[in-house]
Amino acid sequence: MNPRSIPLAAMLLVTAMCTATDAQNRPGLSLRETFDLYVRSIQRSDIDALFSTVTDEPRVTFLTSAGRLIDSREGYYQFHQEWFKEAGWEMPVELLEVREGADYGSTLAIFHYRQKQPDGRVQALDSYFTLIFHKEHDMWKVVTDVCTPIERYTMEPDSGVKYTTDQLYLLDTVKNRRTVRKYKPMPVPKDHLLAILDAARYAPTAGNQQPWTFLVIQDRARLDRLEGEAVEWYLERDKSQATRDEAALQKLRQSLQEQITNALSAPVYVAVLVDSTSAYPEYVMTDGALAAENLMLAARALGYGTGFFTTFFPEARMRAFFQIPDRYKLVCFTPIGVPEEWPTTPEKKGLETLVVYESFRK
Ligand SMILES: Cc1cc2nc3c(=O)[nH]c(=O)nc-3n(C[C@H](O)[C@H](O)[C@H](O)COP(=O)(O)O)c2cc1C
331 shares its domain with 185: yes
Q: Ligand 1, atom 14: nearest CA belongs to which residue?
A: 308
- Are residues 135 and 247 both part of a single domain? no
Nearest CA to ligand 1 atom 30: 308
| Longest Cα–Cα distance in the chain | 95
DSSP letter string, 58-116: S--EEE-TTS-EE-SHHHHHHHHHHHHH--SEE--EEEEEEEE-SSEEEEEEEEEEEEE
The CA 181 to ligand 1 mean position distance, Å, reads 10
Closest ligand 1 atom to the C-alpha of 181? 11
Nearest-CA residue for ligand 1 atom 19 is 179
Tell whether 188 and 153 lie within a shared domain: no
- Do 231 and 320 lie in a common domain? yes
159 and 88: one domain? yes
Instruction: Characterize 332-357 residue by residue with b for buried, 16 or more Cβ atoms within 10 angstroms of its Cβ, and e for exposed.
Output: bbbbbbbbbeeeeeeeeeeeeeeeee
Q: Could you tell me if 160 and 213 lie in one domain?
A: no
The reply to whether 148 and 203 lie within a common domain is: no
What phi-psi label fits residue 58: left (phi over 0), alpha (psi between -120 and 50 degrees) or beta?
alpha
- pLDDT tens digits along 118-133: 989 999 999 999 999 9
DSSP state of 333: E
Is 195 in the same domain as 329?
yes
> How is 200-248 classified by DSSP, letter by letter?
HTTS--GGG---EEEEEE--HHHHHHHHHHHHHHHHHH-GGGGG--HHH
CA distance 24 to 15: 17
Residue 323 and residue 204 share a domain:
yes
3-state SS assignment for residue 343: coil
For position 243, what pLDDT does the model report? Answer: 75
Q: What is the rounded distance in angstroms from the CA atom of residue 317 to the CA atom of residue 333?
A: 12
Interior angle at CA 24, CA 21 and CA 29, nearest 5:
65
- pLDDT given for residue 244 in this prediction: 77
Question: Which residues approach ligand 1 with their CB closer than 6 A?
Answer: 178-179, 181, 307-311, 346
**pLDDT confidence of residue 51:** 98
d(CA 34, CA 39): 9
Please indicate, yes or no, if residue 359 is contained in any of the structural domains: no
Q: Using the 8-state DSSP alphabet, how is residue 121 labeled?
A: -
Domain that holds residue 32: 3-164
pLDDT of residue 157: 87
| pLDDT at position 22 | 57
**Three-state SS at 13:** strand
Distance CA 33, CA 102 (A): 16
Among 139, 164, 189, residue at a domain's last position: 164
Question: Mean pLDDT for each 10-residue chunk of the chain (362 residues)?
Answer: 35 42 85 97 97 98 97 98 96 98 97 94 96 97 98 92 94 97 98 98 98 98 97 86 81 94 98 98 98 98 98 97 98 98 98 97 87
Do 129 and 14 belong together in one domain?
Answer: yes
Is 159 in the same domain as 197?
no
pTM of the complete model: 0.82
| Residue 142, helix vs strand vs coil | strand
Per-residue confidence (pLDDT) for residue 12, from 0 to 100:
41
Q: What is the DSSP letter of 185?
A: S
pLDDT reported for residue 362: 81
Check: CB of residue 142 under 8 Å from CB of residue 110: no
| Chain length of the chain | 362
Helix (H) or strand (E) holding 254: helix 246-263
Evaluate whether residue 89 is within a structural domain.
yes
In a domain, 8, yes or no: yes
Residue 39 lies in a domain: yes
Rounded to 10 deg, the angle between the 190-200 and 284-301 helix axes is: 140
Residues 187 and 310 in one domain: yes
* Structural domains in the chain (count): 2
Mind listing the pLDDT tens digit for each residue in 19-37?
444 589 999 999 999 999 9
DSSP 305: B
Of 172, 176, 178, 179, the one to substitute when testing ligand 1's pocket (max ligand atoms within 8 A of C-beta) is 179
Q: Note the pLDDT tens digit of each residue in 290-318.
A: 999 999 999 999 999 999 999 999 999 99
